[in-house]
């Protein structure tokens, strides 16, 4: 059976995504600071709280919050979980996150 295409409705909506990455916890977290944080800032989300290397908490100019957690996978990779309220582009970016 072919995989169904996900639909991302426009506007700000609640979401929850979990992705498994091959990168180690340290590498995934550092990569998030290099790539994810600047892109979220362009969308109006700013780091409000950091628990290195396990969690980043963002708040947008509009008052929406977004949490990204990092935890070690059993095989040495990393499980990244993102949840909160975000516009379509941000939700879609987390849904397609890969390393």
CATH at 35:
3.30.530.20
User: Residue 58 in contact with residue 45, Cβ under 8 Å?
Assistant: yes
Torsion sign (Cα): 82, 87, 92, 98: negative
State which H helix or E strand residue 70 sits in. Answer: strand 65-72
User: What average pLDDT does the segment 1-19 reach?
Assistant: 81
Helices and strands of the chain, counted as H and E runs = 3, 5
For 27-76, write each residue's pLDDT tens digit.
999 999 999 999 999 999 999 999 999 999 999 999 999 999 999 999 99
Whether residue 2 lies inside any domain: the answer is no
User: What average pLDDT does the segment 14-28 reach?
Assistant: 95
Whether residue 26 lies inside any domain: the answer is yes
Q: What does the pLDDT read at residue 8? A: 66
More confident residue, 56 or 94: 56
Domain hosting residue 87, numbered range: 14-95
Pairing of strands 78-86, 13-21: antiparallel
């Amino acid at each position: 059976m072919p995989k169904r295409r996900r639909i991302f409705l426009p506007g700000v909506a609640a979401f929850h995504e979990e992705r498994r990455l091959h990168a180690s916890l340290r590498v995934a977290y550092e990569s998030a600071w290099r790539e994810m944080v600047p892109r979220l800032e362009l969308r109006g989300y700013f780091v409000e709280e950091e628990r290195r290397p396990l969690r980043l908490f963002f708040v947008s100019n509009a008052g929406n919050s977004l949490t990204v957690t990092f935890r070690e996978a059993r095989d040495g990779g990393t499980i990244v979980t993102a949840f909160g309220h975000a516009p379509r582009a941000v939700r879609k970016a987390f849904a397609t996150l890969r390393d």
